[in-house]
Amino acid sequence: MLTTVRDMPEIRACIRTHTPQQVIRAIRCGIDILILDQNVAIEVNHCLAEAEYGPRILLVSERAHIGVDQPECMRQTCGFFPGRSSQRKLGHFLKVMLDCERRNPCETHCKACPVFSSRQPRKLPLTQRETEIFSLIGQLYSNSEIAEVLGISIKTVEAHCSNIKTRLDLGSGKALLKAAIDWVEGR
């Protein structure tokens, strides 16, 4: 899914399409900015890698944040935009991208950019293991599935969940689930 931004006519690079073939044609035509669903980005990664000066890419998704489980092709994106965020935020991101003269994202030069910083989920006051568990909760894994994936007991998962709720000041399992989903989705 590519998105059209109708109320920002200066963004000539935004097109509306639903197929990877159309995205590949747009890339080969030298488009400047793509607003692209991350599943389509994965499908057209080979074309992005071949482009001498590829487009600047803003990934949009209703699903997991790209920083949670980042495929190789996502490293060449400028940023991530949660599909449920406001049009105002999208407009701000696109303005920043239009004003930028860099053709490819760079850890050194782009680290102060709000669009580039959106590539990673916000930092949490959790340990590495708690962050792993929080991420899996946000991806709708059950406690038993988390225990299996991480090779720990269900009781250990429950203890970590209790610690996460305390550290994040969440009053219930429902609040924990909502916070984890929001974090995974980049909200």
Give the tens place of pLDDT for each residue, 91-144. Answer: 888 888 888 877 677 777 787 788 887 777 677 889 999 999 998 998 889 999
Q: What is the pLDDT of residues 27-67, one digit of tens each?
A: 777 777 777 776 777 777 666 666 666 677 787 776 656 55
The tally of CA atoms less than 13 A away on the side-chain side of residue 149 is 15
- Beta-bridge mates of residue 57: 34
Please report where in the chains the tokens 């708690």 appear, as a residue: 130
Helix, strand, or coil here: 183?
helix
Alpha helices by DSSP H, the chain: 20-28, 38-43, 45-50, 87-99, 114-117, 128-138, 143-150, 154-167, 173-184
Is the pLDDT reported for residue 166 higher than 80?
A: yes
Q: Sorting pLDDT into bands at 50, 70 and 90, what band is 5?
A: very low
Helix, strand, or coil here: 49?
helix
Please report where in the chains the tokens 């994040």 appear, as a residue: 168
Beta strands 79-82; 33-37: pairing state: unpaired
Cα dihedral value 117, 120, 186, 35, nearest 10? 60
The DSSP line for 60-95 is: EESSS-TTTS--GGGGG-SEEEETTS-HHHHHHHHH
Helix, strand, or coil here: 37?
strand
Q: What is the DSSP letter of 55?
A: P
pTM, whole model, 2 decimals? 0.60
- All structural domains of the chain: 20-117 (no CATH), 128-184 (1.10.10.10)
Q: Quick one: pLDDT at residue 141?
A: 93
Query: Which of 24, 100, 22, 12 has the alpha carbon at shortest distance from 56?
Result: 100
Rg from Cα positions in the chain: 18
